Structure 1
Amino acid sequence: MVVLAGTAIALTDARWPWLWIAAEFVLLIVRFTLIVRCEAARLHGETPPLAALMSAGGIWSVIFGLGCFGCIASQNLVLSVLAGLNVAGVVAVVSSRNAATPRYAILVMLVVSLPFMLGALFSPQPGMWVVGLQIPFYVAGIIGVLVHNHAITIRMIRAELDNRDLAVRDALTGLPNRILMQEELHRMCDRLAPPAANGGRPFVVLSMDLDGFKQVNDSYGHVAGDRLLRLVGDRLRRTFRATDRVFRIGGDEFVVLLPATSEIEAAHLAKRAIETISEPFDIEVPAPVYIGLSIGSARAPIDGDTAEQLLTCSDLALYDAKRAGKGRHRAHLPSAS
């Protein structure tokens, strides 16, 4: 665009090309600044100024469209041809780069192309009106390509999200699985501050194991066992708080992450979970089924500040709970390791 404005300066004595090139440089600085702010906001988890960035793009489209109108209004054949080529190029690029925001892209394409089309239709240059007549057909075709690309993009995003959900969610219980648990636990550990800062955002990890599940599975079969696991998952979901995350990591093993939770709060939640699971289950067998729940807990950053350390400590505490008679909660003790 700067090259086209510079060519207009070289081939005409008008002032508007100078205004055009000055506006281009100002908008270049503004848009670059907004892009840098968007990247900084993304890194810090803040809301990026996308509205301002899109507004700057809209202003650029208006200025560019008016500049191309000036080129064709100058009745200079070289500028008219260059303006037409630039309009075609911008419309094509916008269609490709902005497929995710079709309404904005269509607006930009219309703002860019309409001034040139009007200038060509009413230009005294011989045959230029034919070029003006072709612009609507060209832009309509590009819009059709844009809409088609947008539909493809949406399908790809949905397919990726569906595949991601299948990869990180337990198919039986609907709970997130070990993969998502590891990712979330690593994120929580990354948010921990150094010990000098009092641990940043402390949290608790609960490792859980069902007591008596194998007997149910052996006595009534895998179908009944699967039904029992689904009911256990539902009860655990309802037992814990909305901010807590319950995961099934395999078999009859579960992990719960308790953000911003003290040792006393964790013990209370663990006790409530044990009581909830000890209630009878109706799994469509002749008699109600009773199982238990053993829980081991580890506190971050006291018991560790990495996912591996915390899971090891909560597993050790879980083994202590099992050895102590099952159906109970044990917090990790440093001496136990």
Structure 2
Amino acid sequence: MAIFSTTLMAAVVAATTDAIWAIVWLAVELGFGAARYAALAALQRDEAAGRPGNAVLPLYLGMSWAICYGIGCGLCAISGEWLLILMAGIFISGLAGGISSRNSGTPRYGITLIYLLGTPYSVAMVLSPLPYMYIVGLLVPIWGFGMALVLLENYEVLLNLFLSERKNRRLANYDSLTGLPNRVMKRQRFERLLRGADASAPAPLTVFCLDLDGFKSANDRFGHAAGDAVLVSVAERLRSSVREQDQVFRVGGDEFVVLLPGTRTDDAAPVAQRIIAAIAEPFELAGHGRLDIGVSIGAATFPTDGSTVDDLLRAADIAMYEAKRQGKGRFVAAGRNGMAPQQPAPATANVTPASRVRPPEPAGLWSKLQLPSLAKAAEIRITAHPQIPAGS
């Protein structure tokens, strides 16, 4: 719309004056209009295709156009024709108002455009032979300063809106306590990894489901503040136990998920053992001594244990409950062709030197009653790995 309106003014000036400068102005306006439209369209196509576009070219074209249009309006001001003088002033005012809103995201560029448009008109009005026109010319810079203030205010509003949106997006996708991505981000990234995984590849993708052993007892005994501190430390230990390309998520109170791209079940076993050993290291609780907890890990691998997010998470979750049933502090891998659990390795949670946390709760009625039937229905083979002692 701005390109159309400015071209229309140049056409009116050319039609009413028949002056060479007016015709040249119209031709230049048509050229800049076509070039600016083409540059913006190309940039939008590149962004839609995910390619880096030329974002600088539209800026240079915009400033060049502002210089030419400002000169055209200045020539209208010194023409002595009241119609042209009024039209130039009205169009510059309208353009500056639009710039203060549309270009508020780039304040320096927007302010530059406002003064490039208004300066030639201001100088022409100061030099105009018409009486009292110099007053208008002296007021134009003040008016431009006011438009710049409006633009900066719009920039502050836009910036606050952007920051609030980014904060809300982070709150929706990340755990505020540990800083880990939450279950929403887990599903998005998991689906993205599955879309990029090749079912025929030797090591496409493995997922861990983790549940802390003995944490709930300690959390109930020592309070949520101590429990939160432990969860933060657990998140740090998990991040330090995996590769940079691996992804760690907190999906519940003491439940975590780890995605291991390009990893087979056999290759994932050492990673799980590192995690078990890291979590088994004592946690120092201020005023409460040391807390020893463990972690049970279930694993599922694409495409052996499933081809969708839900299938893989379900298989890994069943394997994790089998690890808890076998005595906790275990790594259990899910697979096809039935279930073959191995011997359990019991794990306990302790606090030293003063109090001892009550023993961890049993795996629960659900896992006792449902795990065998679920595993049989899903034809899942469970392979257990012995607990790795802390510090080994």
Superposition TM-score, scaled by structure 2 size: 0.77
Aligned to 1:166: 171
Specify which of 190, 213, 220 is matched with residue 215 of structure 2. Answer: 213
| CA distance in structure 1 between the partners assigned to 2:294 and 2:277 by the alignment | 9
Aligned to 1:46: 51
| CA distance in structure 1 between the partners assigned to 2:307 and 2:127 by the alignment | 72
Aligned to 1:100: 105
Q: Could you tell me how far 1:225 is from its partner in structure 2?
A: 2.9
Q: Could you tell me how far 1:322 is from its partner in structure 2?
A: 2.8
Q: Which amino acid aligns with 1:34?
A: A
1:258–1:38 distance in 2 versus 1, CA, 3 Å: farther
Classify the secondary structure of the residue corresponding to 2:249.
strand
Aligned to 2:60: 55
Aligned to 2:313: 311
Specify which of 234, 257, 272 is matched with residue 270 of structure 1. Answer: 272
| CA distance in structure 2 between the partners assigned to 1:40 and 1:310 by the alignment | 37
Aligned to 1:16: 21
Deviations along 1:43-88, one digit per CA (max 9) or x if unpaired, are 3333221111211211221121122122223322211111111111
- Structure index of larger Rg: 2
CA contact (8 A) 1:317 1:333 kept: no
Q: Could you tell me how far 1:117 is from its partner in structure 2?
A: 1.0
1:270–1:31 distance in 2 versus 1, CA, 3 Å: farther
Q: Which amino acid aligns with 2:219?
A: N
Please identify, of 139-148 and 284-293, the stretch whose mean Cα deviation from structure 2 is larger.
284-293
Deviations along 1:259-284, one digit per CA (max 9) or x if unpaired, are 34444443332221111112222224
Classify the secondary structure of the residue corresponding to 1:295.
strand
2:292 is the counterpart of 1:290: yes
Q: Could you tell me how far 1:109 is from its partner in structure 2?
A: 0.6
| CA distance in structure 2 between the partners assigned to 1:301 and 1:25 by the alignment | 59
Tell me how many residue pairs correspond in the alignment.
333
Q: Could you tell me how far 1:160 is from its partner in structure 2?
A: 2.6
Specify which of 159, 165, 186 is matched with residue 154 of structure 1. Answer: 159
| CA distance in structure 2 between the partners assigned to 1:242 and 1:143 by the alignment | 46
| CA distance in structure 2 between the partners assigned to 1:29 and 1:331 by the alignment | 63
Q: Could you tell me how far 1:315 is from its partner in structure 2?
A: 1.6
Identity of aligned residues (%): 39
Aligned to 2:196: 192
Q: Could you tell me how far 1:6 is from its partner in structure 2?
A: 0.6
Q: Could you tell me how far 1:116 is from its partner in structure 2?
A: 1.0
CA contact (8 A) 2:304 2:335 kept: no
- 1:113-152 equivalences under 5 Å are 113-152=118-157
Q: Which amino acid aligns with 2:121?
A: F
Higher helix share: 1
Q: Could you tell me how far 1:11 is from its partner in structure 2?
A: 1.1
Classify the secondary structure of the residue corresponding to 1:332.
strand
2:248 is the counterpart of 1:246: yes
| CA distance in structure 2 between the partners assigned to 1:14 and 1:173 by the alignment | 71
1:286–1:148 distance in 2 versus 1, CA, 3 Å: closer
1:218–1:143 distance in 2 versus 1, CA, 3 Å: closer
- 1:326-337 equivalences under 5 Å are 326-335=328-337, 336=375, 337=378
1:281–1:23 distance in 2 versus 1, CA, 3 Å: same
Superposition TM-score, scaled by structure 1 size: 0.88
Aligned to 2:372: none
CA contact (8 A) 1:120 1:132 kept: yes
Aligned to 2:115: 110
| CA distance in structure 2 between the partners assigned to 1:252 and 1:155 by the alignment | 34
Q: Which amino acid aligns with 1:192?
A: G
CA contact (8 A) 1:192 1:305 kept: no
CA contact (8 A) 1:7 1:79 kept: no
Q: Could you tell me how far 1:19 is from its partner in structure 2?
A: 2.5
Specify which of 230, 249, 255 is matched with residue 257 of structure 2. Answer: 255
CA contact (8 A) 2:198 2:204 kept: no
CA contact (8 A) 1:207 1:256 kept: yes
CA contact (8 A) 1:120 1:129 kept: yes
| CA distance in structure 2 between the partners assigned to 1:309 and 1:25 by the alignment | 60
| CA distance in structure 1 between the partners assigned to 2:89 and 2:242 by the alignment | 64
Deviations along 1:90-143, one digit per CA (max 9) or x if unpaired, are 111000111111100011111111111111111223333222122112111111
Deviations along 1:228-260, one digit per CA (max 9) or x if unpaired, are 222212211222223322221111100122334
Q: Point out where structure 2 has 5 or more consecutive residues left out of the alignment.
A: 1-5, 338-374, 379-392
1:102–1:218 distance in 2 versus 1, CA, 3 Å: closer
